[in-house]
Amino acid sequence: MIYKIKKSLEDGWGKLRWFSSILSERIKVEIAVIKLLRESADLEKTRERIVSDIGERVFELRASKDISIYVDPRVAASLKELEEVEGKLTELKSQATEIGGVE
């Protein structure tokens, strides 16, 4: 009888270890996804700032009818920075999707 109780306890501990290891791995994955989403939110704020800067500069240039907004150095630099941020955002979101989809 003691052997049977010991065997049941060992089986229970084994199942508990298995469950806790799966839970631990899943928590690690969720934390990684949360970190990526936080970075993504920070990049979204940067994107909004850049778009706002471009809009302000275009508004400043509205009086100068002969100046192309694409030639303006501030607008060109902001557009280049915006393209980089967009690329990083796309990459982070795809990474979050890949990590979150792993089961």
pLDDT single digits (tens) 69-100: 878 888 889 999 999 999 999 998 888 888 87
**Structure tokens belonging to residue 73:** 């150095």
Dist. CA 88–CA 20, nearest whole Å:
35
pLDDT of residue 22: 93
Confidence class for position 24, pLDDT limits 50, 70, 90? very high
Of residues 3 and 43, more confidently modeled? 43
The count of other CB atoms within 10 Å of the CB of residue 23 is 10
Contact 57, 72 (CB under 8 A): yes
pLDDT at 47: 94
How far is it, in rounded angstroms, from Cα 45 to Cα 85? 10
Q: What predicted TM-score, i.e. pTM, was given to this entire model?
A: 0.70
